[in-house]
Amino acid sequence: MIEEIFNRQNQLKNKLRLSSSKERIAKLDTILNWILNNRSSIKIALHKDFRKSGEETDITEIYPLVSEIRNVKKNLRKWMKPNFVKRSIIYLTHSAFVKYESKGVVLIISTWNYPFLLSIGPLISAIAAGNSAIIKPSEISPNTSELISKMILELFPNKEIAVVQGDKAVSTELLKLPFDHIFFTGSTEIGKIVAKAASENLSDYTLELGGKSPVIVEKSASLKSTAEKIVWGKYLNKGQTCVAPDYILIDKDIRNSFTELLVNNIKKYYGNNHQEVETNLNYARIINEKHHSRLVEIIENTKQNDGQILYGGKYDSENYFIEPTIILTNCEGCKISEEEIFGPILPIVEYTNLDEAIQWINKRNPPLSIYIFSNNKIGIDKVINSTHSGGIGLNELVIHFSHPHLPFGGVRHSGIGRSHGFAGFKEFSYERSFIKAGKLNFLKIIYPPYNNRKRKIVDFFVKYL
């Protein structure tokens, strides 16, 4: 069945490649209208999967898609037009331009933490670029995956867009097929498997991965607003966000006062104690037993390695609940320092000078994001110029992910390729180069046979043009 769907889409790809901006926008409109008309169904599915609140679903799953579609609709006609390049003297009589053309049949393998957003987001770019697509949503969020399948069946024939559900075995079968592009969102470990499988068919691929995104809090930062932003960005979706702040690097002189601000905001957002947090409808759950156990192990491992729990640390394995937790640590080889946390555990590492913070970051793979809270321009520039990451947040965090005009992606272990807006359109397109001859052909002067006059002309070209 999977191969049959792929073959149908493969037969249609030339037709879709020639589709107009109007036709592509019409498809995006059907998605937009479906989302707006089914907001309650989306919220119910996500609540069933990991007790996500309706408000959080609107903010993190629905609005970014609505915003993305509106941005694409506004700009698609311009993106599809030939982009004429500058003429040099040698090519004075020629016209040259670049045109974006669809890649063909694409595979979208999405993940569970934002299951609706991370399935439909890449699809928007794929459709805008004129591709067909097969979506493999995550089996870990089954209610949302079922809703996505229902949505696509209602809106598109499977020769254009199809959803294939299943576990690892289904993904393995899909990766054997010669897709023109593969868009994967998930862990670095699985990303390597996807890249290796893509290489067998020389398929293009995009990998949106993760990593340990640090937050540097410098003395000059506005500590009150910094604490508010970090608590929101960290515990959003229970910390199960690829761009969530993974850990804080903070000047040791302000650590105590800043920790107090963090705790005050946790209480303000989610409740004053374990019981209040556990019953708070705005605090989601860990997705399943496997991920809950992994996070509990991080907490227990930290205790054994002299990590100090400054706040929280309680958990309920039956309900996959872990309260917002803050841990003071400087353990270099511990799980908390080396593994992406992807949960509601926030380590704090003290530093005495900015060079120590930069060194800590650079000992690890380049992260998806680096967040700097500071009003010291010299310090900010030093961090930017001394580190490498997919994105930078200056006195802000997380929200760059949903900015429709910013390319989003990582560096090596945190990702390959870019998505969103024009970057997403380009990711699912080929840049096809065109050159067109004019009526006069000045280049004849360099055709053989070569004589002394032509040698002088060539010499002039090399030296001056």
Question: Strands of 83-84's sheet, edge to edge?
Answer: 83-84, 95-102, 429-436
Per-residue pLDDT for 332 more than 80? Answer: no
CA distance 298 to 293: 9
Helices (H) then strands (E): counts for the chain? 18, 18
**For residue range 283-308, what is the model confidence (pLDDT) as tens digits?**
999 999 999 999 999 999 888 877 89
Q: What is the DSSP letter of 279?
A: T
Are the beta carbons of 328 and 292 closer than 8 angstroms? no
Check 208, 218, 323, 340 and give the catalytic one. 208
Higher pLDDT, 108 or 275: 108
CA distance 266 to 243: 19
- What would the mean pLDDT of 337-348 be, rounded to a whole number? 93
Return d(Cα 2, Cα 254) in angstroms, integer.
57
CB 34 within 8 A of CB 151: yes
Q: Which two tokens stand for residue 404?
A: 């429709």
Instruction: Please enumerate in sequence order all residues whose Cβ is within 8 A of that of 71, keeping only pairs 6 or more positions apart, or say none.
Output: 404, 405, 421
Q: How far apart are CA 415 and CA 408, in angstroms?
A: 10
Measured CA distances, 79 to 220, 404, 440 (Å): 42, 15, 31
- Rounded CA-CA distance 143/137 in Å is 11
pLDDT computed for residue 87 by the predictor = 85
Q: How far apart are CA 41 and CA 273, in angstroms?
A: 32
Active site residue 338: no
- pLDDT grade for 234, boundaries at 50, 70 and 90: very high
Q: What is the share, in percent, of the chain residues with pLDDT greater than 90?
A: 87
Tell me if residue 242 is catalytic: yes
Structure tokens at 287: 């997705």
Annotated catalytic residue, options 61, 160, 218, 242: 242
pLDDT of residue 225: 98
Query: How far is C-alpha 327 from the geometric centre of its chain's CA atoms?
Result: 27
Interval 375-411: pLDDT, tens: 999 999 999 999 999 999 999 999 999 898 999 999 9
pTM of the full structure: 0.94
CA distance 240 to 186: 12
Q: What is the pLDDT of residue 439?
A: 84
Q: How far apart are CA 250 and CA 374, in angstroms?
A: 11
Lowest-pLDDT range, 54-58, 127-131, 399-403?
399-403
Question: What mean pLDDT do residues 203-219 have?
Answer: 96
CA angle 307, 308, 311 (to 5 degrees): 135
Reported confidence tier of residue 440, pLDDT bands at 50, 70, 90: confident
Residue 252 has pLDDT above 90, yes or no: yes
* pLDDT value at residue 350: 97
Per-chain mean pLDDT for the chain: 95
In this prediction, residue 267 carries a pLDDT of 97
Give the number of other CB atoms < 10 A from CB of residue 318: 8
Residue 441 confidence class, pLDDT cut points 50, 70, 90: confident
% of the chain with per-residue pLDDT over 70: 100
Q: Cα–Cα distance between 373 and 388 in angstroms, integer?
A: 17
pLDDT for res 120:
99
Cis peptide bond prior to 449, omega within 30° of 0: yes
Paired strand residues for 345: 325
Across the range 147-167, mean pLDDT stands at 98
Domains for the chain: give ranges and CATH numbers.
2-209+415-432 (3.40.605.10), 214-402 (3.40.309.10)
Average pLDDT over residues 15-42: 98
Both tokens of 8, joined, read: 């149908």
